[in-house]
Amino acid sequence: MLKKRRLAIAVLLALASALPACTRNKKADCASPEVFCVGLVTDMGKIDDKSFNQSAWEAIQRAQKELGATTQYIETTDPKDYPKNIATFAEEQYDVVVTSGFGLTEATHAAADRFKGVKFIGIDQFQADTKPNVVGLVFPEDHGGFLVGALAAMMTKTGKIGAVLATDAVPPVYRFGEGFRAGARHVKPDIELSVVYHNDVGFDKTFTDPEWGKTTAVSMIDKGVDIVFGGGGKTGNGALLGAATKGVYAIGVDTDQYYTVPEAQKVLLSSAVKLITEGAFDLIKMAKEGKLPSGNFQGKSGYAPYHDLDGKVPAEVKAKMEELRKGLLDGTLKTTVPPAKDAK
């Protein structure tokens, strides 16, 4: 009995003495040329938000598996913490810091000026000015809009489709909306189509007005629209919920909204998506190879699976969607949508 007790104590002491060493070893030496460190600073959402943050983290996890990267993330709980969170990685001499979402644009630029030896990847952050250690991962939103516009035009039974979107003063939203219009007209020139932007309120509310999104969608549906494309934060989500309330098809935006708006799953036909994970991983790989570009790097846009409605989509529609997707990718098909409203 005494021997057993002594053995147990010895094991506990050994484990206790090992703990500090394990704790010390968890912090990688990112300043070492042999260690490739990649950090992610999220926007206000959580790491598992099924949106930008999660997609970016999946890219970084892929870098860990395929490139041997040492990885970590910081979840932001207050926008004023953006600079501090970015600096946490930069001061530890991480090779790459990824910042998720356009809200971090200013903080990312400031950090790039302060930490010139660190490479920064800003997701959905258009670079108006080029800095040698910053690249913005941007997307051809008009491509995703075009694809789901074509899908809506091919799937409508009433011949009437609509889009409910936040302000067209924000280029990505504008490109989604006008891409939707262009795609619908491409496959069905005579379709009856309505694209409505929430330009009747201050900018601070245009993305955060789900009630307007819902009532606008319901109003369209009452006039015969049977497929609604919703885009622009909570405002767009409101449009999806409006479609769900009325039992007509809905189309989401940015990410696969089958996962982000579960209340609309039964009516969600697809989503116009930005392929964030693929684009972010490509840039991280370039950074490791010493080939990271500066300025803007264009990722890819596409469309999400049909999920619960897969059996409702005819084979010929699926084939046409793939034909259009490939045409946009190889450049043989153009949306003709300008980069921003009123742009030449």
Which tens digits make up the pLDDT trace of 142-168? 999 999 999 999 999 999 999 999 999
Question: What pLDDT band is residue 203 in, cutting at 50, 70 and 90?
Answer: confident
- Which CATH class, in words, describes the domain spanning 141-273+314-330? alpha beta
Instruction: Say whether 72 sits in a helix, a strand or coil.
Output: strand
Which tens digits make up the pLDDT trace of 237-264? 999 999 999 999 999 999 999 999 999 9
Residue 17: predicted pLDDT: 38
List, in sequence order, every residue forming a beta bridge with 135; answer none if it has no partner. Answer: 121, 295
Fold of 37-139+277-298: Rossmann fold (3.40.50)
The CB-side HSE value for 208 (13 A sphere, CA atoms) comes to 4
Which tens digits make up the pLDDT trace of 293-329? 999 999 999 999 999 999 999 999 999 999 999 999 9
Cα of first residue to Cα of last residue in the chain, in angstroms, is 87
Q: Rounded to two decimals, what is the model's pTM? A: 0.83
**Closest among 94, 91, 104 to 52, alpha carbons compared:** 104
Parts of the chain belonging to CATH 3.40.50.2300: 37-139+277-298, 141-273+314-330
How far apart, in whole angstroms, are the C-alpha atoms of residue 55 and residue 60? 9
Which tens digits make up the pLDDT trace of 93-134? 999 999 998 889 999 999 999 999 999 999 999 998 999 999
Exposed e or buried b per residue across 169-200, where buried means at least 16 C-beta atoms within 10 angstroms of its C-beta: ebbbbbbbbbbbbbbbbbbbeebebbbbbbee
Q: Kindly compute the dihedral angle of the four CA atoms of residues 26, 31, 37, 43, in this order, to the nearest 10 degrees.
A: 90
How far apart, in whole angstroms, are the C-alpha atoms of residue 173 and residue 199? 12
pLDDT above 70 as % of the chain? 92
Residue 13: predicted pLDDT: 41
Judged against a pLDDT cut of 60, whether residue 84 lies above it is answered with: yes
Q: Are 210 and 185 in contact (CB under 8 A)?
A: no
